Structure 1
Amino acid sequence: MFAIAVEQRQFETYILTDPSAQSSIEVVPERGGIVTSWQVGGKPILYMDTERFADPSLSIRGGIPILFPICGNLPNDTYIYNGQAYKLKQHGFARDLAWQVSARSTDDCASLTLVLESNAQTRLNYPFDFQVAFTYQLQGNRLTVQQRYTNLSQSVMPFAAGFHPYFAVADKRQLQFDLTATQLWDHITQSAQPYPGYFDYDLDQVDVAFLDFPSTSTTVRDRNQNLSLSLNYSSSFTTLVFWTVKGKDYYCLEPWTAARNAMNTGDRLIQLAPQASLDASFSLAATFG
């Protein structure tokens, strides 16, 4: 049945497996609580730049990085709160900090819970006390991330959260997206444009956001791999970002709770009451055939 193993590599790695589906995930708590690998039927679903991952001074390109307490970047990495300027680099600090393992289970699925708590370092850039708990659940061909964001402060806590999964792809032109959106925001040209139902992979970079995405699910079909990938997420995730770089064997389809610069604009920014919690879910299912 389900199993969890721990291996001491460069970083301590938790390996969750479901042998019946030949599925597994690998989680590295001290490198931002990241899922570094997900396999279904013994086949890899995620891309990972192993050289960048091995260097703690570099941001990770691969796996499923966690975005908190912002998604995207801020102008000059700066936001204003109560008249004071604070610095947060792109996507926030959760993906750079060590998370703590708080629970594990193999009862109904392979399950691992990680916790990130505020500290003196985080309060310099984000003046709130918080706890973020993620439970990774592996069952069959599905990976689910149950989340709980808790405000331990005495004031309302603004934040955005999201995921940045890197999906492996050999030929992007073989991708088909089930996206009901008709308009997108191009982060590169800073303009709204109609969504024609496909992306121009001849560009050096595609970086677009579907704002107020009208659905809490989407599907990608990779005809080259004969793979269908389904994403489902809570209604808190209002924005879906697509990003890829020319010549790289990955694409990213990212659910965010708010768009870039929400800490300054307030647009769809979550405002969590003191001592309150917000629960959310994000799941991925991979089917070959």
Structure 2
Amino acid sequence: MYRVEKYMDKFETYRLYDLKNNSFFEVVPDRGGVITRFVYSGNEILYLDKETLYDTTKNLRGGIPILFPICGYLKDEKYTIDGREYNMKQHGIARLYKWCVVKTSVDDSASITLKFTSSSETREIYPFDFELIFTYILKNGMLTIEQQYINMSEKNMIFYSGFHPYFYIENKDDALIFVDSDVCYDAIDKKQLIFNGKIDSKKPEVNLIFESKSNECHAVDKKRNMKITLKYDEVFKYVVVWSLHDKEFICIEPWMAKPDSMNTKEDIKILKPGEDLKTVFSISASME
């Protein structure tokens, strides 16, 4: 049985239930269409710092922020298109703007569809007309994000998108991460390394970039005997693992391209006028 509810916290929030599996997720359209909670079988899957959710002057830390039209940083927060220089902060603009609710649905699943459309304000940062249509679906305890990126400009649109899930891990020393990859780059120490599945929780910051060989990775939270599995289409060529020493989270992030690709042009996606890109990303959990 599935159900959708809407309530007012500081922001309007939608909660979608899978009652059979004692699972639900929450979405806040006003804060970048972010999924703030995902509970599977009564267990919190995501980390959320509520102070950063409520304070719009802060970058939201927690949930599943949407990264568009870039993942990661740009050198000096700048890039150039058609001879004009633009400024864009880390991870792009989608997470900074209100998304509109298109519809909710309850049949063989619980779902909500959101839309983010370009404006005169976004064009000062990213000079394209676009529309993003995302549908979040909860079915049999699995959270799926169906994405559609649409170029509504009269010129080719370049972008590379991603997600930034914050997974709640209380004891990171007891966590294992599995990514099918031959290449692991440490973005803090600026070197390649051999990854053994465990992050160094004593480091102030961990930032690893993997070139993914398959469409799946997972983490094991041994304290809760829980396995979290991420599946994604092949357009997501990279997986980033990020964590801070004093916080109870490990981010495992599917990205389409590496940082600064708007400048290097490596792995960027190009949509012709009127074209779209459809892709899927899902998160599931199971008790080991």
Which consecutive unaligned segments of at least 5 residues does structure 1 have?
A: none
Matched, 1:255 2:239: no
Tell me the SS of whatever aligns to 2:228.
strand
* 1:177 aligned partner: 177
Task: Confirm or deny: 8 A CA contact 1:154 1:274 kept in the other structure.
Answer: yes
State the Cα distance separating 1:183 from its structure 2 match.
2.3
Report the more deviating stretch, 195-204 or 260-269: 195-204
TM-score (norm 2): 0.98
Structure 1 pair 286–196 and aligned structure 2 pair: CA distance change class (3 A): closer
- Where in structure 2 are the equivalents of 1:2-13 lying within 5 Å? 2-13=2-13
Tell me the SS of whatever aligns to 1:51.
helix
Tell me the SS of whatever aligns to 1:264.
helix
CA–CA separation in structure 2 for the residues paired with 1:160 and 1:89: 14
CA–CA separation in structure 2 for the residues paired with 1:195 and 1:288: 25
CA–CA separation in structure 1 for the residues paired with 2:223 and 2:205: 21
Describe the superposition over 1:76-108 as per-residue Cα deviations: whole angstroms up to 9, x where unpaired. 110111221101100001001000000111012
Matched, 1:112 2:123: no
Report the more deviating stretch, 259-268 or 167-176: 167-176
Tell me the SS of whatever aligns to 1:173.
helix
Matched, 1:128 2:128: yes
State the AA in 1 paired with 2:207.
Answer: D
CA–CA separation in structure 2 for the residues paired with 1:153 and 1:135: 23
* 1:221 aligned partner: 220
State the Cα distance separating 1:60 from its structure 2 match.
0.5
* 1:244 aligned partner: 243
CA–CA separation in structure 2 for the residues paired with 1:247 and 1:65: 20
- Where in structure 2 are the equivalents of 1:120-199 lying within 5 Å? 120-199=120-199
State the Cα distance separating 1:134 from its structure 2 match.
0.5
* 1:89 aligned partner: 89
Task: Confirm or deny: 8 A CA contact 2:179 2:210 kept in the other structure.
Answer: no
Describe the superposition over 1:13-67 as per-residue Cα deviations: whole angstroms up to 9, x where unpaired. 0010011000000000010000000101111110000111110110110000000
Report the more deviating stretch, 108-117 or 192-201: 192-201
Tell me the SS of whatever aligns to 1:46.
coil
Which consecutive unaligned segments of at least 5 residues does structure 2 have?
A: none
* 1:280 aligned partner: 279
Matched, 1:100 2:87: no
CA–CA separation in structure 2 for the residues paired with 1:259 and 1:278: 19
State the Cα distance separating 1:196 from its structure 2 match.
3.5
CA–CA separation in structure 2 for the residues paired with 1:197 and 1:142: 24
* 1:264 aligned partner: 263
Tell me the SS of whatever aligns to 1:85.
strand
* 1:36 aligned partner: 36
Task: Confirm or deny: 8 A CA contact 2:65 2:163 kept in the other structure.
Answer: yes
CA–CA separation in structure 2 for the residues paired with 1:119 and 1:128: 9
* 1:75 aligned partner: 75
State the Cα distance separating 1:191 from its structure 2 match.
2.5
Tell me the SS of whatever aligns to 1:231.
strand
CA–CA separation in structure 2 for the residues paired with 1:277 and 1:39: 32
Task: Give the aligned CA root-mean-square deviation in angstroms.
Answer: 1.0
Report the more deviating stretch, 216-225 or 91-100: 216-225
Instruction: Give the total of aligned pairs.
Output: 288
